Structure formats: C-alpha cells, structure tokens
Structure 1
Amino acid sequence: MKALLAAAAALLVAHGSCPALAAEDVAGEFDYYVLALSWSPAWCATEGRGRDEPQCDPERRTAFTVHGLWPQYEDGWPADCATSQRDPSRRDSAAMADVMGSGGLAWYQWQKHGRCSGLSARGYYQAVRDAAAAAEVPALLKMLPRDVNLPASVIEDAFIQANPDMTRDGITVTCNGTRLDEVRICLTRDLQPRDCAPDIRRDCRGALLMEAPG
C-alpha cells in the first residue's frame, strides 16, 4: 500500500499536479507596480471613525492616502514573498503614517507586498513616498467643499490632466458600492507612468459618491 501511495505521489509531481509543490513568488521578480490611492473620507465613513483612527480627525481634512505600492506581473501579482531583507522597525513603519494613514497599514503592506519588491524595508518605504510624490492629486479633489457624485471617467480625467504622462489605460478607479474606494495608477519599476495590464482594468460604472474631507 505504501509503495502504491508513493508511486501516485511521484506521478502527481511529474505532471505538475500537486498544489503543495507550486512555485512560490520570488522577491524582486515582477513586471511593474500599482500605486493604490485610497479615498480616506469613504474609509473613515465606513470603518475609520468607529476605530478612532487619527487620519479621520476632521481637522486634518485627509483626502487620498496611500493604500499600497504593489508589485505586479503582466497577469496576476506576487504576494507574501520570502526575502532575505530585514523587516522594518516599528519606528520606520510609524513614520509612514503621514502618507499611509497609519504605521499598522505600512507594516501590513510591507509584509504582503513590500517583501516581493526585492527592496530593503527602508527602500520600499522610500519607493512608496517617491511614487506618491510623483502622482499629483488634482487640487479640486483634495479640497472638495461638499459631497459630490462623479463618474469614474471624470475622476480619471482629473488625474490625467494633473499628470500629463498618464494614459487612460494607466489608471483605474475602484468603488465600494456607490462610494469611491481607490484610484490605482500603474507605474514601471522605475516609477514612471505606464499602461496597466488588462487584468486590473476594472473601472466602476456610474456616478460615485465622494464625501468631502473633514
């Protein structure tokens, strides 16, 4: 019986049918990045204020924050890669709160996505800052005076106008129900604008609610 089981296992391995032996994602092996900008007022309205998160303080009038900088394949994406790089310190993660909203999110993003970049923790956090600094957020969207409903295409147009190197295929808008959720911008490994691969071009349809910051 043992011999039969061993033979069956060997057959599965030979035919690549054993999921336990699937190749793991390798740190540093990817094609491009996605910079995900989260619309903070929507997150605060659904989760953040109930958790008393600092970014939801009305005095801060926080508009977009960085959800993450995600390595991508041309089809799919790596996650939870093994890496020889050391994890960031609590101080390094906490210092990312100004662009990511919280040190906890920065730490989570490092674990799931940053390790796949092949960069050191500090290098990845700096890449997050550099990508965020290079993506100009339209002034009107930063300082909405009141809640508005805007089609995804209008939000994209505003970003493209503020960032002339972006193309319509290089930016996508996601939603949570009828609320704006994120604006996702595709970047080369050198953090230059590029078109997104087809698997992540999933714009929301219809008008999206954008709550005014504050």
Structure 2
Amino acid sequence: MGRLAPLFAVLVPLAIAIGAWFMDGQGSLSRGLEAGTPSGSTDEPVTPATKPAIQASRPMAGKGFDFYVLSLSWSPTYCDSDAGRNNRAQCGTGKRFGWVVHGLWPQYERGYPQDCESAEGSRVPDAMARGIIDIMPGIGLIGHQWRKHGSCSGLPMADYFALVRQVHDKILIPPQFSSVREPLQTSPATIEQAFIRSNPGLTRSAVAVTCDSQRVDEVRICLDTSLAFRTCSEMDQRSCKRSDLVLPPQP
C-alpha cells in the first residue's frame, strides 16, 4: 500500500482534470448549438404558429418628415379595375378582403419624400412580408410600399411594418362599412362622418375619401408621429368631390 500511494497521488488529480475538461467541453458544445440556432429562420414554412409577430407596444417616431397618412383601400373597387383583375393575391378566387392597407406614407406639409436610400436594401424578406400580408395583401404591394415610402420613415424595416400594424389596429372601421354584401349607395361626407364617430379625436380635417368615377376608392387618415390624429389640408384638397358614390360589395 505504501508503494501505491505515489501512484494514487498522480492518478487522482489526473482523473479530476480529465472529468472537468470533458464536462466543460460538453457545456460549451451545448451553448454553441443554442446560440447558433435562429429563432425565426426565414427557411421555416410560415404558418399561423410560426408567422412573425409584426407588432409594437408603443408608437415608434419616424424622422425627417411632418406626419403620416394611413391609406385604407376598399379592395372590391381595386379588384374591379384592370390591375386588380390580374392580382390573384388580393383578388383571386376566395379572396374576400374589405378595407386593406394601401400604405403608411411619411408626408411633408406639402408633398412627400419617396424612394429613400436604406442600409437594409429594397427587398422585404418573405417571412417579414408574410407577417403583415393579412392586412396588406400582396408581396409585391408590401415591397413597393417599403421602397417608395417606408424607406423614408427613418425606421428599420421591421419597425416600419410593426408601425403599419399598430396604426391599422388603431383605426376602427364603422360597422356599416365593415362588411358589404350588396352595392351600397353613399357619399364622401357619410363615410367621413362614420369614421369620425367610430374614432374619437378624428376630425373632418384629418380624414379624406378618394374615389374613381363613381366608386369609393380609399379612406386616408392623417396622424402625427405620436399617432395622434392631425389636420392635413393637402389630403383634404385631394378628396373626392362627388356627392354620390357606390361602395362595391365584397365577393
């Protein structure tokens, strides 16, 4: 036993050192796999369970402009146009969209910025686009709106689309115009008043209705960068001047 003592004195510390090295290696490997696994890989199929949540809990102020215009388009009017008839994403069989987001546009008091340079480039990743396609139907539309308008918001791409979602959710659609099954005779003043009643703080100087020859086209609502309603005389000047309009029915 006396002769084995020196051997034990060597082997025991060596075994302890090997065990510590092995455990540290396993731990490092585990941490490396966790850190290297993306939580929202764009290669994953986009389903309701994995769809990116493009949301924001508070207003995100843009910069370099004066206010926003939220443009809500009545989809059946667009789908009855030449461009809409060829748009299967928004107007194909089984598509029953009503009010959709045409865009959220940074505006000057007169005019607006467009096609600004962005470090994030011009292409909206498919996974990000599919996170907002329920209210802005069409990958092409989403990409166009980012390039022309979102790039001028001063916000990162993800924050801009989160803001689009936030502003959309802020606006309450009047019940009589939320679901239309028969052609509805109306007027710009009637639509404006209905939106004003449904959205406290909204005034006639902050909302405008546009039209084509006879049909309701869009409702445009002006908001400052804190998302409070505000006047916008230029939008009001461009509003529909007809007194009688038709709101086409949803398919």
Q: TM-score, normalised by structure 1?
A: 0.82
Q: Aligned to 2:113, what secondary structure does the other structure show?
A: coil
CA contact (8 A) 2:100 2:135 kept: yes
Q: How many residues align?
A: 187
1-side partners of 2:83 and 2:173: how far apart?
Answer: 22
Equivalence for 1:145: 181
What CA distance in whole angstroms lies between the structure 2 residues aligned with 1:145 and 1:50? 19
The aligned amino acid for 1:67 is H
CA displacement 1:21-62 (0-9 Å, x = unmatched): xxxxxx930010000000101011113652252332564431
Paired with 2:120 and 2:109, the residues of 1 have a C-alpha distance of: 25
Could you tell me which residue of structure 1 aligns to residue 243 of structure 2? 206
Cα offset for 1:168? 0.4
Counterpart for residue 115 of structure 1: 151
2:90 corresponds to 1:55:
yes
Q: 2:68 aligns with which of 25, 33, 36?
A: 33
Structure number with higher strand proportion: 1
Range that drifts further, 85-94 or 133-142:
85-94
The superposition leaves residues 82-133 of structure 1 with CA deviations (integer Å, 9 ceiling, x where unpaired) of: 2234543122123321011112101100000000001011111111000100
Deviation at 1:199, TM superposition (A): 1.8
- Contact 2:209/2:218 (8 A) holds in 1: yes
1:155-170 to 2 correspondences below 5 Å: 155-170=191-206
CA distance in 1, matches of 2:92, 2:174: 22
| Distance in 2 (alpha carbons) for counterparts of 1:148 and 1:140 | 10
What is the alpha-carbon distance in structure 2 between the residues aligned to residue 108 and residue 40 of structure 1?
17
Structure 1 regions of 5+ residues with no counterpart? Answer: 1-26
Distance change (3 Å), C-alpha of 1:47 and 1:32 = same
- Report deviation, 1:191: 1.7
Q: Which residue of 2 aligns with 1:127?
A: 163
CA distance in 2, matches of 1:52, 1:89: 20
Three-state SS of the structure 1 residue aligned to 2:80 is: helix
Secondary structure at 1:98 match in 2: coil
With over 3 angstroms needed to count, the CA separation of the structure-2 counterparts of 1:72 and 1:210, relative to structure 1, is same
Query: What stretches of structure 2 of length at least 5 have no aligned partner?
Result: 1-61
Residue matched to 2:42: none
CA RMSD of aligned residues (A): 1.7
Q: Structure 2 length as normaliser, TM-score?
A: 0.70
AA partner of residue 212 (structure 2) = N
Give the distance between the partners of 1:141 and 1:66, measured in 2 at CA.
15
Query: How far apart, CA to CA, are the structure 2 residues paired with 1:104 and 1:96?
Result: 12
Q: Secondary structure at the match of 1:157?
A: helix
SS at 1:200 equivalent: helix
Structure 1 CA distance, aligned partners of 2:172 and 2:200?
10
Any runs of at least 4 consecutive aligned residues in structure 1 with deviations exceeding 6 A, and if so which? Answer: none
Contact 1:48 1:56 in 2 (8 A): no
